[in-house]
Amino acid sequence: MSSILIKNGFVVTLNESNEMLEKGSVFIQDDKITEVGNFPDSKYQADRVIDAHGNIVMPGLINAHHHLYSTFARGFSPPGEPARNFQEILERLWWKLDLALDPDDVYYSALIAVMHAARAGCTTIIDHHASPACSEGSLDLIEKAFREVGLSGCLCYEVSDRNEKGEGIAENERFIRKCKEADDDQIAALFGLHALMTLSTPTLEKSADIAHQLGAGFHVHAAEAEVDVNVTFERYQRRLMDRFLDFGIPSPQSIFVHGIHFEAREMDLLKTTDSILVNNPESNMNNGLSVTPILEMLSRGVLVGIGTDGMSSHMISQARAMYLLQRTYRRDPRVAFGEAADILLNNNRKICERIFKEPRGRLAPGHLADVIIADYVPFTPLAADNFYGHLLFGLSFARVGTTVARGRVIVDNGHMVDIDEEKVRATCVERAKKLWAKIH
């Protein structure tokens, strides 16, 4: 058994009563939080004591949609003319990059991204993977990266028909079975699908049958761009949510990503099926796409989460982008500030409650010991009713000095504890060079 005492912090519990504790302490036993409060240091004999020096102590952050495999695209420009629309972005960049990945690329792109997540205070990632040339066993390589760094993850493989009919179905089935048999809550699994525009009826039928037999939810892109809506309607005369319902895909455990072009009726179907919608504002802006109507979805009671979509592993910047984008889109400075912060801190936690067994996202007894210490000592008053302002205007620019994941210190003074960062980065540079050379 191991134990950690974090003391002298400005503790942001995010618990049910939203307590804020000046000079507060958190005691961790193994991988769970035992106590949070203003108790004397002498109450526990900890294996390690960390003095927060008045800095913010808060729960580890959660990324509800990532593409770890996209990490090696940073700095890369696809050959040829720049893409003019979303379909060309897929064809000229992402579908060429994922096809060029080999097993080492899969592992190292995941490893460096998970390391970056840990250093940004993110302790749980829901990932969506694709590597058509090496799909078999690819999720094991990503799992290895998570376990080496120490974060929790929910993994899936992106099934589509664009290279081979039903490519990825077997990998999803194998990995979901593996996770269920292991009964180890550090790594969970969903059944991944790309988008309806790349999925045939036989592939959807087979995927749905297997996922339902295994009791697994889905993780799928939907209505990211007009092409997904138009192609689906031209082929099947069905709107996207109707087509998903045909195969029983919506559910409380299913994540629909983007939802930019959902009609009002489809938003209502998200609610009536209690499905999850995850917004990725920076990615949508980067791709020149429209704005997800998250405020309308929230008003309908849809559980809306937030992710990075492979753009980065920094979650607070996503919430900041979300509220700024919504205000710009609506030309209304009164909206989205509280909603964006609440989506990041509360809704992403609720999403995890549907996927993982271990509660997380709060500093409370019995919760998973995912705790971060940001290098941020408030210089203006901080309380429960103004924390979101500190989050989006202060913590968004602050370094995370310490990250505790599953009860283990994995980032200490801004550096990985058990990983040779310099060696991993050097390897990633070489792998990226080779990967880029294969893309024409």
Mean pLDDT across the stretch 406-429?
Answer: 97
Q: Tokens at residue 279, please? A: 């917004």
Phi, psi of 40, rounded to the nearest 5 degrees:
-70, 145
Would you state the pLDDT for residue 440? 82
How far from 1 is each of 146, 332, 368, 408, 418, CA to CA, in Å?
Answer: 22, 53, 15, 11, 19
| pLDDT tier at 406, thresholds 50, 70, 90 | very high
Q: What percent of the chain has pLDDT over 70?
A: 100
| pLDDT tier at 183, thresholds 50, 70, 90 | confident
Cα–Cα distance for residue pair 240/263, rounded to 1 Å: 10
How far from 318 is each of 30, 36, 59, 247, 313, CA to CA, in Å?
Answer: 31, 28, 17, 32, 9
- Domains belonging to the chain, first-starting first, are 3-60+358-416 (2.30.40.10), 61-354 (3.20.20.140)
The edge-to-edge listing of strands for the beta sheet with 152-155 is: 61-66, 122-127, 152-155, 187-189
Mean pLDDT across the stretch 324-328?
Answer: 97
How far from 293 is each of 259, 267, 271, 298, 306, CA to CA, in Å?
Answer: 8, 9, 14, 9, 13
Would you state the pLDDT for residue 243? 98
* List of residues 6+ apart from 162 with CB closer than 8 A: 95, 194, 198
Going 267 to 271 to 274 to 278, the CA torsion angle's sign is positive
DSSP 134: G
The whole-model pTM stands at 0.97
pLDDT digits (tens, 9 = 90+) for 125-162: 999 999 999 999 999 999 999 999 999 999 999 999 99
Going 204 to 206 to 212 to 215, the CA torsion angle's sign is negative
Contact 292, 306 (CB under 8 A): no
Cα–Cα distance for residue pair 257/223, rounded to 1 Å: 8
Q: Calculate Rg over the CA atoms of the chain.
A: 21
Return the beta strands (E) in 104-183 as ranges: 122-127, 152-155
| pLDDT tier at 94, thresholds 50, 70, 90 | very high
Q: Is the pLDDT of residue 69 over 80?
A: yes
| pLDDT tier at 433, thresholds 50, 70, 90 | very high
Return the beta strands (E) in 285-397 as ranges: 303-306, 371-374
Helix residue ranges per DSSP H, 150-218: 169-182, 201-214
Mean pLDDT across the stretch 316-336?
Answer: 97
pLDDT digits (tens, 9 = 90+) for 329-347: 999 999 999 999 999 999 9
pLDDT digits (tens, 9 = 90+) for 373-397: 999 998 999 999 999 999 999 999 9
User: In the block, which residue shows the tokens 């960049």?
Assistant: 93
Mean pLDDT across the stretch 163-172?
Answer: 97
Q: Residue 308's closest CA among 70, 33, 18? A: 70
Contact 343, 304 (CB under 8 A): yes
Mean pLDDT across the stretch 40-44?
Answer: 95
